[in-house]
Chain A
C-alpha cells in the first residue's frame, strides 16, 4: 500500500500524520510538497492539520489553489482514499471535495482538548474497525471548526449516511454535532478531530489506530480482490 501526506506551507501535523500512517498502515509513506502535480499510484492521501498559508483570508482558502489539488482531484476521480484532518478538512471544503464550510467556533476560542466522538457509521472504509455507536476519544485543536451546511445538504448527508462522526458534547457549535463527514462516494473523509494524535498510550488515547487500521484493511481487501 502506498500513502502520501501532503505538506503545505504552514502544515504542522504532517509529521504526526506520517508517523501514524507509517506505524499503523505501513508500506510506502511519502511526504508530498504542495507544489507537486502528481499523486498517481497513491492509495491513501492525507491532508494534515495546521495553518496553511497562515489561515489568511479563510482557513484552507489559499491552499485550495496549490498545484497538488489538481492531482488530488484526479485521485478522487479514481476513488483513492482521501482524508483531511482539521486544516486538511477545511482545505477539502474550500476545494469543493466535501460540502459545507467552516465558521469560527461559537465560543470564539481556540479549543484544544480530548474529545469524545460517536462513530455513527461503522461500515465504511474509515470506520470498519469500530462498532456503529461506539464512542472514541480523539483530540481537537481548532479555532474554525464550527461546521455549517444548508438544510438541503444536511438532509443529503443524513440520507446517505455521510456523517461518520458526531461530537458527544458539541464543543464548537457545529450544525447537528457534526465532527466528520464523507463525500457521497464515500472515499473522501473530512474531520476536525485528530486521529493521528490518538495512536499511542503516551498520547492519552489509542482510538485513532482503529481509523488507520480500517483504511489498511479496506485496501488489503481491495488488493486481494483485484489480484
Chain B
C-alpha cells in the first residue's frame, strides 16, 4: 500500500485573498521579506494495492474529480510505499 499526500493551492494567476491577508500579517510582524504567500490544503490518504503506476494514476484521477477544482486550483501529489513490495 501507499501513503499519499496531496497539496492543493490556488493557481498562480488567480487571486488568493487568504494568502494576501496572511502575507499582510507577516509583514506587520516585521517579516517584510516574506512574499508570494499562498494558502492551500494538505490531504493525506492511504491507497491499498501494490502497483505504483496504478496508485498514482488513481490519485491523479481523485485530484481531477474531487480533491482539487482545476478551474482555480493546482495540485501536486507524492506517493510513498509503506508496506509490501513494489511490482
A26 at the binding interface (Cβ < 8 Å): no
Chain B's interface size range is: 10 to 19
**Closest CB in chain B relative to A110 CB, distance in Å:** 13
Q: Are B69 and A104 in contact (CB under 8 A)?
A: no
B residues less than 8 Å from A100 (CB atoms): 71
- Report the nearest B residue to A105, measured CB to CB: B17
Q: Which of A57-65, A77-85, A116-124, A191-199 is the contact stretch?
A: A57-65
Contact for A57 among B10, B16, B66, CB less than 8 A: B66
A65-B66, A173-B15 given; A149·B71 CB < 8 A: yes
Q: Among B10, B14, B18, B71, which residue has the most Cβ atoms of chain A within 10 A?
A: B71
A94 at the binding interface (Cβ < 8 Å): yes
Q: Are A103 and B14 in contact (CB under 8 A)?
A: yes
Q: Are A61 and B14 in contact (CB under 8 A)?
A: no
Chain A contacts with B in 84-106, Cβ cutoff 8 A: 93-94, 100-101, 103-106
B72 at the binding interface (Cβ < 8 Å): yes
Q: Can you pick out 16 interface pairs between chain A and chain B where the beta carbons lie within 8 Å of each other? A: A57-B41, A58-B69, A61-B69, A94-B69, A100-B71, A101-B69, A101-B71, A103-B16, A103-B72, A105-B17, A106-B15, A106-B17, A148-B14, A148-B15, A149-B71, A173-B17
| 9 smallest beta-carbon distances between A and B, as pairs | A101-B71, A101-B72, A106-B17, A101-B69, A104-B17, A108-B17, A148-B72, A108-B21, A58-B69
